[in-house]
């Protein structure tokens, strides 16, 4: 009987997982979450597979708090069952309350065993927000308050990953009056390195990339000021949105099901928070299916990866545009689609000639008098050509 844990390659071989499937997973990892792993982005999937394959399977202990289990679902509900199977062969998911058959005392024993066998080495994944008010009144695990369980397990972990918006900063349970005092993990486990992977749900490949980087290199990826890995959260969705050309051209869906919506135009006017939401959803879709992400299926981004946006800001309220420099010819966002107002028409007439074409573009930025008065006092309803949102 071997004393040492097998490497990922050895385990995959024992489990009968084909090399081809493993290399396919590495390819997805490289695309979905440009694997750091001390390899350049030019590294081939084969090279990534070589590095990852030599690592020991990282032990993962997964705890649930105030959650809906959607973050677990996103990891397991891949479009092809073999992908979920593969993920569970690459990491060693030693404790997961939803997936394991044990319950009651057996479950507690399983948690103790998972911690003892990997003391100080396992990655703790937390799903759900932590209730901090009235110790134990809102949530208990095996008779102990949730807060106590998190602290006990957290201090024995090597690193902690807050999976999803609830674990990152409170999410749904923290919205509104926040009766349970729901908060994120990093405000409690201040002594431990905590990686936040907000999202409702988050992309599972981001989790896999973080855990594998830790397993192969013994370190966590570079984080931003909100403890999110830069490889996945360094840009706003708007930067890489496939509808961005429509935004720049002033083509907006105005109502669900209208012509603009059917044509796949920009969803900003329907409340899309893509311009203020840091996430990689626009380039890394879900379930290994192209276009499976909110904007891809015609739904505005709700900003679920941003603290204070999702679950706090009304869905139809338009986001404030910051740092976006629209082209000189950007039409006003509230200009009726396909119409040129009377002032614009007059302008075109006045300067018709050699500069007629340029004037036409500029004229499209001008609203009619009726439009100006209609937008006054409407904080979410007009954007100036310089990209700043007007209103009170
Ligand atoms: Fe895409 Fe939303 Fe930006 Fe429009 S506002 S381009 S739909 S991210």
Q: State residue 321's pLDDT score.
A: 85
- For ligand 1, is residue 244 a contact (CB within 6 Å)? yes
Please give the CATH topology (third level) of the domain spanning 8-231.
Rossmann fold (3.40.50)
- Arithmetic mean of pLDDT over the chain: 80
The DSSP annotation for 161-191 comes to: EEESHHHHH-TGGGSTT-TT--B-GGGT-TT
| Interval between CA 275 and ligand 1 midpoint (Å) | 7
In this predicted model, what pLDDT tens digit does every residue of 144-197 receive, in sequence order? Answer: 999 999 999 999 999 999 999 999 999 999 999 999 999 999 999 999 999 999
Nearest CA-CA partner of 224 in 212, 236, 232, 216: 232
Domain ranges of the chain: 8-231, 235-323
Residues 161 and 214: beta-carbon distance below 8 Å: no
| Interval between CA 129 and ligand 1 midpoint (Å) | 29
| Interval between CA 339 and ligand 1 midpoint (Å) | 22
Residue 265, pLDDT above cutoff 50: yes
Residues 188 and 147: beta-carbon distance below 8 Å: yes
- For ligand 1, is residue 276 a contact (CB within 6 Å)? no
Judge: domain 235-323, CATH 4.10.480.10: yes
| Interval between CA 243 and ligand 1 midpoint (Å) | 6
pTM: 0.78
In this predicted model, what pLDDT tens digit does every residue of 333-391 receive, in sequence order? Answer: 555 555 544 444 444 444 334 434 433 333 343 333 333 333 333 333 333 333 343 33
Instruction: Please name the residue whose Cα sits nearest to atom 6 of ligand 1.
Output: 244
Nearest CA-CA partner of 107 in 76, 138, 56, 64: 64
- For ligand 1, is residue 266 a contact (CB within 6 Å)? yes
């Amino acid at each position: 009987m071997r004393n040492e844990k097998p490497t990922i390659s050895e385990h995959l071989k024992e489990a009968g997982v084909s090399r081809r499937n493993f290399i396919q997973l590495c390819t997805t990892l490289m695309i979905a979450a440009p694997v750091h792993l001390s390899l350049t982005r030019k590294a081939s999937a084969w090279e990534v597979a070589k590095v990852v394959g030599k690592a020991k399977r990282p032990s993962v202990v997964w705890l649930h708090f105030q959650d809906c289990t959607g973050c677990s679902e996103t990891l397991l509900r891949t479009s092809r069952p073999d992908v979920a199977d593969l993920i569970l062969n690459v990491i060693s998911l030693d404790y997961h309350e939803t997936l394991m058959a044990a319950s009651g005392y057996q479950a507690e024993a399983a948690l103790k065993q998972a911690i003892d066998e990997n003391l100080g080495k396992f990655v703790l994944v937390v799903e759900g927000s932590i209730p901090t008010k009235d110790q134990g009144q809102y949530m208990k695990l095996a008779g102990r308050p949730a807060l106590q369980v998190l602290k006990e397990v957290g201090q024995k972990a090597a690193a902690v990953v807050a999976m999803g918006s609830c674990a990152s900063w409170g999410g749904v349970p923290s919205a509104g009056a926040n009766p349970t005092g729901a908060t994120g993990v990093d405000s409690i486990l201040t002594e431990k390195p905590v990686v936040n992977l907000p999202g409702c749900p988050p992309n599972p490949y981001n989790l896999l990339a973080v855990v594998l980087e830790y397993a192969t290199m013994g370190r966590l990826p570079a984080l931003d000021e909100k403890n999110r890995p830069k490889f996945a959260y360094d840009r706003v969705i708007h930067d890489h949105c496939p509808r961005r050309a429509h935004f720049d051209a002033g083509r907006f869906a105005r109502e669900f099901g209208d012509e603009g919506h059917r044509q796949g135009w920009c969803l900003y006017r329907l409340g899309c928070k893509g311009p203020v939401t840091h996430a990689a959803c626009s380039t890394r879709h879900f379930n290994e299916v192209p276009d499976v992400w909110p904007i891809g299926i015609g739904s505005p981004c709700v900003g679920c990866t941003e603290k204070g946006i999702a679950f706090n800001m009304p869905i139809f309220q338009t986001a404030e545009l910051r740092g976006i420099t629209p082209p000189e010819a950007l039409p006003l966002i509230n200009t009726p689609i396909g119409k040129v107002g009377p002032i614009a028409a007059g302008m075109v007439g006045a300067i018709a000639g050699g500069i007629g074409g340029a004037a036409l573009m500029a004229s499209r930025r001008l609203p009619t008098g009726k439009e100006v008065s209609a937008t006054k006092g409407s904080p979410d309803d007009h954007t100036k050509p310089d990209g700043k949102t007007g209103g009170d």
